[in-house]
Amino acid sequence: METVCQEYVKKRDWEDDPPEFHVIGNLPFNVSIPLLLQWLAMIPGRRGPFSFGRSILTLTFQREVAERIVAPPGHTQRSRLSVMTQNLCHVHWGFTIPGSVFTPAPKVDAVVLKLVPRLRPLVKVDHLTLERVVKALFTFRRKFIKRGASLLFPTDPHLLPLLFSLSGVPHTLRAQELTMEQVDQLSSTYLHLLDKHSSQYAISS
């Protein structure tokens, strides 16, 4: 696809406006999240549709999934998906599509979201590091983040207090309460601790 599109679509620098290449998809609900995560993983390396620049994604999701994607800090729907998507994209709620317009009609409504890649991610660490940190923090979403963060240091628990003292993020917050700035502080501190104290936590794909 990329080779064919190169003949018709002019590439743009990342700092420029989005290119004419535009991804539009009425996604099957059962694969919408895996597809979105695959596209997000392509953004940092500017691969796939993002090799042309900050290509816009206009996609349909089950309403519940769409609410998770756009959920702000403190919202009950805030999740790993919220953080990973908002870190890389400006997310705009388009409109709701009632399930009754589909045949056969699903029991849920759909929502169209517009995702525009950011010039720069909100979190400074690499994508895999952020993914690991966010996964740990949201594993025990009803508990304080100290519980989930402990999964980041399975053999060196003494590093856990350092994560919070150096980042300045209170360990008594819950994952859904974290702002993107606090996620950035935790992720950057985590990476610093890995570099300083041990190589055994090296992140592999």
Residue positions forming the annotated binding site: 1, 26
Task: Write the CA distances from 107 to 5, 99, 102, 103, integer angstroms.
Answer: 37, 6, 10, 11
Residues 83/111/119/55 CA torsion (nearest 10 deg): 130
Could you tell me which residues are annotated as the binding site for S-adenosyl-L-methionine? 1, 26
Query: What is the distance between the alpha carbons of residues 22 and 189, in angstroms, rounded to a whole number?
Result: 36
Query: What is the distance between the alpha carbons of residues 32 and 45, in angstroms, rounded to a whole number?
Result: 21
Longest alpha-carbon distance in the chain: 57
